[in-house]
Amino acid sequence: MQRICVIGGNRYFGELLVRRLRAAGHHVTVVNRGSQPPPPGVEHLVADRDDETALTAALASRTFDAVVDQVCYTPVQAAVAARAFEGRTRRYVMTSTIEVYDPSTATLPLLPPGTPVPEETVDPAVWPVRADLPWHDPAHLEPHYAEGKRQAEAVLTRQGGFAFATVRSAHVLGGGAREFTGRLAHYVEHISRGRPVVVHPEPLPSVFIHYEELADVLLWSATATDFTGALNACSDGLFDVRDLGAVIAAQVGREPSYRTAAPGEPASPFSFDRHYAMSNARAKRLGFTFSRTADWLPGAVAEALAAPAL
């Protein structure tokens, strides 16, 4: 049994992670602002992670084998966590995102077209940090989501005093109504009702991961391995927006209708004008076995079709 602290962990794959950690026999402590209690048998500490004094007081004298941070979005939050958990944990795992590789948000090394992006493309050890920017302002944070994640990784890499790993998740699908982003529901609704889906002139593929698989990756990263640094987490297989539409069409019995985005018009989610795939080779070398997107995507679509919101 290990002592695991989860920051956040009150919805979607974070909630599932907490349940699976508990089912595996670990002692689990959840830290959040108290909007939703954790499952039975899980210790609950109510604190705002942005308030260093309150967070430190809530932790009291507790120590952990590992921390899984589900809700770290800025270098300021990362710095608070680094100070609060220094000396309290031997391992710290941050949930990050494929968006750190978005070339529209940072100057990144050029790769040959179609090359799945490896972790070293964004190196937290050398990434510049600007903690003086208005990270507490949602008007700044929203358009700088990817940069906030990159800088948060950088702070925890350099300042934590613990072994640090960051799991960069592909686009997460599955769970029906639990899938709070609404992106899969967007496609299911449009195709089911015959509405056109707005896409780029030549949509290019990306990678995805089922929410249950991401929970498994995080559990493994926290309890079953000692790797440090960045790790890409994605199921095997590339899908573009038309591939996704074909899976939905097979279940709703209606062919998708697509419309090319006008200049300056945003395309639908998961329509990309660049090849947007990560390499999961490092995770495989370390021992994690991924599923195939083609195997679980039809089930995720069925869940979305059955969700009450539709």
pTM of the predicted model, to two decimals? 0.95
pLDDT confidence of residue 309? 53
Listed residue (61, 72, 65) closest to 7, CA to CA: 72
Average pLDDT over every residue of 120-146: 95
**DSSP label at 8?**
S
Topology of 3-306 in CATH?
Answer: Rossmann fold (3.40.50)
**For 157-185, what is each residue's pLDDT tens digit?**
999 789 999 999 999 999 887 888 889 99
**For 110-129, what is each residue's pLDDT tens digit?**
888 889 999 999 999 999 99
* Residue-by-residue DSSP string for 82-139: HHHHTTTBSEEEEEEEGGGG-TTSS------TTPPBPGGGS-TTT----TTS-TT-HH
**For 44-76, what is each residue's pLDDT tens digit?**
999 999 999 999 999 999 999 999 999 999 999
**For 96-105, what is each residue's pLDDT tens digit?**
999 999 999 9
Whether the pLDDT of residue 214 is over 80: the answer is yes
Altogether, the residues listed in the chain come to a count of: 310
Neighbours of 165 (CB within 10 A): 24
pLDDT confidence of residue 310? 41
